[in-house]
Amino acid sequence: MKPGRVILMGAGPGDLDLLTRKAVRALLAADVLLLDELVCADLVELAPRARVMRVGKRGGCRSTPQDFIQRLMRRYALQGKTVVRVKGGEALLFGRAGEEIAFLEAAGIEVELVNGISAGLAAATSLGISLTHRGHCDGVSFVTAHTHDGTGPDWAALAKSRTTLVIYMGMQRIEAVCAALLAHLPGGTPAAVVQWASTPREARLVTRLDTLAGAAREAGMASPAVILVGDAIGQARRRSTAGAEPAQRVLGAA
């Protein structure tokens, strides 16, 4: 039997209007749909003929093992099916796509990639800021607080990089993240948390680095959320204190 194919698709942060036309075509072609935990539930309506399997992975929660997900993709692809592995955000950004591509290609399976909007970009949109505002930074660094070996990133180097920091998977250890950055950045450095970016559940907190952890805990903010740190975040303050769309809640501002 001729092998099928696997499509690794980023579904974006939750707003289905942000899906690309290419993503919609992939969903329509799907025989098997493997859905991550944070993918919008309504997305399955765009894959009317697919068998839907939920393979949730979420920090601090019981998750489907990565090797099991990879074996599922291989199994169905070798049966000649089109498998669409749907990940929240962007598949190529902290989505373990590299591991999956290598595993599938070693089995002789064709892999296609469909990009999605990352939660970090959706968070910046919500705050109304440019992550690369040239008056405030030299670029942007996307980083995970949950590294593979558990040691954490080089916060000192990141603090000195003069880039806007967009930190994923950091809410469980937000106190440690803030403490590490405060060893190298002023306490008044603008900072924010955006939870459930782009969805009706979205919440935004804009403050400063030395109060971020406490304010986020007091507001009950938790994953899925993105932490943003840097001078460019200061541009969000006026917009946040002025109010938000009806579907959003502004939890605080410096």
Catalytic residue among 9, 36, 81, 87: 36
Q: Considering only CA atoms, which of 37, 26, 8, 11 is closest in space to residue 198?
A: 11
Structure tokens at 95: 């989505």
Distance, in Å, from the CA atom of 102 to the CA atom of 14, rounded to the nearest integer, reads 27
Lookup result for tokens 């006026």: 238
36 as an active site residue: the answer is yes
Which residue type, as a one-letter code, is found at position 109?
Answer: I
By the 10 Å C-beta count (0-12 exposed, 13-18 middle, 19+ buried), 223 is classed as middle
1 as an active site residue: the answer is no
Catalytic residue among 9, 73, 87, 169: 169
Which residue type, as a one-letter code, is found at position 69?
Answer: I
Where do the DSSP E strands lie in the chain? 5-10, 32-35, 51-54, 82-87, 110-114, 140-144, 164-168, 190-195, 203-208, 225-229, 249-252
Distance, in Å, from the CA atom of 224 to the CA atom of 59, rounded to the nearest integer, reads 9
169 as an active site residue: the answer is yes
In 3-state terms the chain splits into helix, strand, coil percentages (rounded to 5) of 35, 25, 40
Strands laid side by side in the 140-144 sheet: 140-144, 164-168, 225-229, 190-195, 203-208, 249-252
Catalytic residue among 9, 57, 171, 221: 57
Active-site residues, by number, are 36, 57, 169
